[in-house]
Amino acid sequence: MVDVQEVVLRLHNELLKGEGIDEESSLDMEMRPRNGITSVTIVSLILDLEEELGIELDDYLIQIRKSSTIGTLIDIVKEAYENQHQ
Amino acid sequence: MKKEYELIMLAVLVDKTEKEKNRIKELLTKEIDWVEIAGILMNHRLGGYFYFGLDEEQRYVIPKELRKNLNMLVKGQTYEQKFLYKYIRELYDTLENQDLRYAGLKGIIYGATIYSIGMRRSNDLDLLVYEDDLDKLDKLMKQIGYIQGSKKDGKIVEATKKEKLIQRMNYHDLVPYMKEAEDRIIEIDINFLVDGKDNLIDDKVFDMGTSLYEGDYYTFRGLNLITNFAFLICHFYREATGEIWVNNKRNLLLYKIVDIVNYLRHFEDQLDSESVVKTFEKLNILEKALYTFLTIKKFYENEKLINECIKKMSTEYIDLYQKYFEDSVFERYYEDSYNMGR
């Protein structure tokens, strides 16, 4: 069983590092540019999550767009993963 | 107002008052700078409107070569629109009765209600689709041969998943759907947000219902009259103030103002300022509406509904009104418009 939370936090940490932000990803971190989530990086994060977890997030884009924290994003990705790996 | 500007702005109206008709007659007896008229008509996509807006006799006042060019433009636009209408009908047959929340926008609705064929140039077709229904839409569009992409050397290049995602996550519309049809490409823009991501009103707008608009050439589903007007307001505001549009001077195209005025005049019996302002308040677009109304007022100062709405807002929403009361942006918009901000 894949640990979705670990994957999201790891990919977000890579993203933070790539953006030169000296912060550690956490559940309550807001999905904002100051935390590395910009209009462009969110797309890369989605594509990386899809590839690593072998899932499609197309049906979850509205929820992802509305999600406010990394914790919410993890919940959405977990739901997608469970639905697609039953 | 310069007489050339006045002649254009009056002639392009579909439903004219007697006073306006008489003023056109009067203007046509004066010395007109037709070179300026030609430039404005071409730059602002108003050639067809102007040609249709004059009667046969009045058209003979236009210098011969310009008249022939306008006639040819109308013939070309008619030919193109007849072609496009086939695909509007195909789209309607595909989307209707599919449990999909959608509505035709702009040219589709104008073509079914206000404008004669050949009058208005349409480069593409615009739809509003409820965001939850985009997957359903995608399947239906693929069934009739559309793919999402861009044009390159007359061919369609399919967009990558990343390009589609960037557009979807960051804008109000999708990468356009396209298909090759005979010797050209049909392009359909799908909007999934009426306003911006900071004002999600799509539920409310679709809950207010849609209507069928029956034209001479096709029937299509659209939003109801007020919510369609609300879309036009949001769209106008976005293009008038958006950086990409402003930098390309595309914000200043006069046909956008003319379209809204023609729409309001055509449906004036079915729209009242009370319901309009109340609905716009509910949709949280009062400021955008006021901006649009004040811009339009610079060009058409006697529009009944616009003036009533401005009056209502100036008393009921004083703070908002004060914000724009002495704003010179509308004056600048007016001054820059005719020469495209040169």
Residue indicated by tokens 């729209």: B271
pLDDT digits 0-9 by tens, B262-279: 999 999 999 999 999 999
Q: Where are the alpha helices (DSSP H) in chain B?
A: 3-11, 18-28, 34-43, 47-53, 56-59, 64-95, 107-113, 134-143, 161-170, 202-207, 225-241, 243-247, 255-266, 273-282, 286-299, 304-316, 318-325, 329-337
Q: Is A2 on the interface with B (CB under 8 A)?
A: no
Which residues make beta-bridge pairs with B309? none
- Identity at B317, one-letter amino acid code: Y
Instruction: Report the alpha-carbon distance of residue B257 to residue B254 in Å, rounded.
Output: 5
Q: Is the ipTM of this complex over 0.95?
A: no
C-alpha closest to that of B45 among B73, B64, B68, B20? B73
Phi, psi of B121 (to 5 degrees): -85, 130
Extract the runs of DSSP E, i.e. beta strands, from A1-86: none
Q: No. of H helices and E strands in chain B?
A: 18, 8
The whole-model pTM stands at 0.91
- CB-based contact (8 Å) between A51 and chain B? no
Q: Which of A49, A61, A64, A68 to mutate to test the interface with B (most CBs of B within 10 A)?
A: A61
User: Do the Cβ atoms of B162 and A59 come within 8 Å?
Assistant: no
> Would you call A43 an interface residue with chain B, using a CB distance cutoff of 8 Å?
yes
Which residue shows structure tokens 């006069």?
B254
| pLDDT averaged per 10 residues in sequence order, chain A, 86 residues | 93 93 94 90 94 93 91 96 90
Size of interface A-B (CB pairs under 8 A): 25
Alpha-carbon gap, residue B58 to B71, rounded angstroms: 13
pLDDT in tens, B19-29: 999 999 999 99
> Which tokens belong to B37?
């008229």
Q: Do A43 and B162 touch (CB under 8 A)?
A: yes
